[in-house]
Structure 1
Amino acid sequence: MNRLSILGLTGLSTLAFALASPAWAQKHTLPPTRQAGQPLTEIASFDDDFRLVGIGVTPDGRIFATAPANDRRSLYSVVEVDPRTGHITPYPDAAWNRFSESRPASSEWINAQALWVDVQGHLWVLDISLPSLDQSLFPPKLVEIDPVSHTVLRQYPLGDIVHRPDALNDLRVDPRVGAAYLTNAANQGSLVVLDLASGKGRQVLVGDRSTRSDPDQHFTVEGQQALKNSGQPVVLHADGIALSPKGDWLYYRPLSDHHYWRVPTAALRDASLSPATLASKVQFLGDSVMSGGLIMSPAGTLIGGDLQHRTVVAMQVDGQPPRLTTTLLASDPRLSWADGFAISQGKLYIADSRLWEVSFKNGYKRAGKFAIYNLELPKRKAD
């Protein structure tokens, strides 16, 4: 689930990236930065009974989180987090959080992965299902919830759009144009465009250079190539996704390379465009940190986690052709895998899933709890 120079930031260390070259990953090493940047405030922490991944925060500051069931099922799948005590409450209720193959998939969380709160304040939950289940009975789905009334407003089954080995990862929803955008991190890599009125969707940019991880780059942590439990290298295609404040650009990237991309959302929604024409509208933004989740601030700053150095960075898109300038935003010795992000009331919320410590075969040492942090976003006037 995953970034630009923030104008007007003082006291932050600018990282020296050679951002225009796709060979950046092989030619540059980031300086150690874990003791620089803004410190984080811990909001809540969790043990193995809630393996945090996704986060969503409403405009009035209510915090929601997910614990996917890929490796093991947590006590709950989707919760509301009390920011004062860290207490979690199953959401929208306990019944939705009691998965059973004997129950309808439309009334339970199978494998809740990612969250998004739209401009209307509605909570969207991406349930990606599990490959071990019959997908005709338990398809992935997108669920819209009104957090004021705790009411499920609509569900969008996605089984006709993605098929194994596809694996949906993250989402953005824009009710202003009636569309949802999702990333598919497996198979060939792709984006999914969903029309909210009709419920119909399609995969686009399938296997495109922008959605498929660069085979010449590899995800390494602490000097080791990251390995899945199967022993195969970690390769994740289209993963992080972010929507510009006006909704006119979608930013995205594979996790296991350093490339960043964007595409006009109007082009994504235009089903009349041929695959080649749509691909021609994609813009390469250069290279930066290897991040998972992404988010864009109201001021137009792209934010993500530097997973290899356990920090959070801010990225600005400038120039023609557009290129990224990257600045260290936050670092904290407690931070492990900053992969889920939300913004509310001028604060950036970070979900630390410690994924590399719990899901990779490399035997990385488990060093802390799953945690939610926040920090005050620097103020910068939008262009």
Structure 2
Amino acid sequence: MSKDQASAWTIEQVATFDHQVTGVSVSEDNRIFVNFPRWTEDSAVSVAEVGKDGALRPYPDEQWNAWRNARKDELEPGEHWVCVQSIVADGRGSLWVLDPAAPAQAHLVSGGAKLVQIDLAGDKVKRSIAFDEEAAPQGSYLNDVRFSKDGKHAFITDSGVVGAILVVDLEAGKTVRLLDGHPTTQMKKGLTVKADGEELRRPDGRGVEFSADGIELSSDGRWLYWQAIKGDTLYRIDTGFLTGKGMQGGDVGDQVEEFGKNGVSDGLLIPRGTNKMLLSAVEDDAVKVRDLDQGPSGRPEVLVQDQRLRWPDTFTQGPDGTVYVTTSHIQDSAFFKPDAPPALPTQLWKLTGGRF
């Protein structure tokens, strides 16, 4: 990408929210969905559809959004959003909701961890795949999900205390937990995440502590990529090993490849029909792009840098090719700033003006 192409990119605000947003996804018919995890507030809406006027509609309905931390003993966690971290429209008529069920990224609510499929035509839950303690033990925090090209498997990162990759056979409802504790899914020792040029730490001295987080599939579906937020290295594995040997209970650790350095990053996206990776450069208030054809030696370049990109978090691509990104303002949250407002304003942006 030339410097002129990179400099042409800008961001345009699509919506603003009164709560901390993380995930965003756009369906094949151009409907926009977002989610709000229960991190530092007990948000009233967990999953919502964004109207053309920016208004939020609880999705799929108010009942699924009725959970409150104070009412946790009154509502069934398997039938309500407990702490939703990500959402993905699969292009096949469904929106999938990943609920790690760990408010404040702390105690996992028993029976709450799940992957839920919603039929977009009828706006109704079609099925829910619950994760038991073997798949999602205490200390886990299921973070993001991608689906195989044939729609038969889901791949999920666990960014909790012990990182891992989960593989779900969607037809059978079977889940295996792979690369559990493997060096490629863990936080990198000695690495410190910065914001505004300074180390980002909580009042008790802890820094940013997320294991395997960003995840993406290559355009042909062969390679699954991921990295830890508290890390700077991109890894990949041939999905055939995950759905084959891995689903059979085998160790696939020796099949993981190191694929160069991304720097500290959260969300990943490979735009359709390309072999380029967008990554959220959270330390630089930027979105960067990397040419995967250059292999492990490829280096990310700045696509767009803007001070309004306060922790660019999750990417999605609309049916017309437009790329969207949320800014979750993690560095501005009560985790790191105790005097931060409980309801943290965040935004949804779209990238405009350039080409990949």
TM-score (norm 1): 0.83
1:295 maps to what in 2? 269
Task: String of CA shifts for 1:176-200, please: whole Å, max 9, x gaps.
Answer: 1511111111222111111101111
How far does residue 135 in structure 1 lie from its aligned partner after superposition? Answer: 3.9
Measure, in 1, the Cα distance between the counterparts of 2:12 and 2:339.
25
Q: Alignment partner for residue 346 of structure 1, among 296, 321, 333?
A: 321
The two structures, once aligned, show a CA RMSD in angstroms of: 2.3
Alpha-carbon distance change, 267 to 215 in structure 1, aligned in 2, over 3 angstroms: same
2:145 aligned with 1:171, yes or no? yes
Q: Alignment partner for residue 285 of structure 1, among 259, 270, 274?
A: 259
Alpha-carbon distance change, 379 to 39 in structure 1, aligned in 2, over 3 angstroms: closer
Alignment length (residue pairs): 343
Task: String of CA shifts for 1:104-136, please: whole Å, max 9, x gaps.
Answer: 223211111101111314111001112676743
Q: Alignment partner for residue 111 of structure 1, among 74, 79, 83?
A: 83
1:75 maps to what in 2? 44
SS at match of 2:184: coil
How far does residue 335 in structure 1 lie from its aligned partner after superposition? Answer: 1.6
How far does residue 230 in structure 1 lie from its aligned partner after superposition? Answer: 4.1
SS at match of 1:325: coil
How far does residue 373 in structure 1 lie from its aligned partner after superposition? Answer: 0.6
Measure, in 1, the Cα distance between the counterparts of 2:61 and 2:253.
42
Maintained 8 Å contact 2:212/2:227? yes
Output the amino acid matched with 1:264: D
Alpha-carbon distance change, 266 to 60 in structure 1, aligned in 2, over 3 angstroms: same
Measure, in 2, the Cα distance between the counterparts of 1:154 and 1:365.
38
Q: Alignment partner for residue 53 of structure 2, among 85, 107, 114?
A: 85
Maintained 8 Å contact 2:108/2:139? no
SS at match of 1:41: strand
Maintained 8 Å contact 2:83/2:101? yes
Maintained 8 Å contact 1:54/1:66? yes
SS at match of 1:86: coil
1:40 maps to what in 2? 11
2:309 maps to what in 1? 335
Identity among equivalent positions (%) equals 27
2:339 aligned with 1:370, yes or no? no
How far does residue 240 in structure 1 lie from its aligned partner after superposition? Answer: 0.5
Output the amino acid matched with 1:62: R
Maintained 8 Å contact 2:261/2:296? no
Output the amino acid matched with 1:107: E
Alpha-carbon distance change, 109 to 175 in structure 1, aligned in 2, over 3 angstroms: farther
Measure, in 1, the Cα distance between the counterparts of 2:179 and 2:239.
13
1:153 maps to what in 2? 126
Measure, in 2, the Cα distance between the counterparts of 1:377 and 1:244.
24
Q: Alignment partner for residue 184 of structure 1, among 144, 158, 162?
A: 158
| Unpaired runs of at least 5, structure 1 | 1-6, 14-35
TM-score (norm 2): 0.89
Measure, in 1, the Cα distance between the counterparts of 2:249 and 2:75.
41
Maintained 8 Å contact 1:37/1:328? no
- Select the structure with the greater relative contact order (CA < 8 A; seq sep ≥ 6): 1
| Unpaired runs of at least 5, structure 2 | none
Task: String of CA shifts for 1:68-99, please: whole Å, max 9, x gaps.
Answer: 112212221100001x3111111001111111
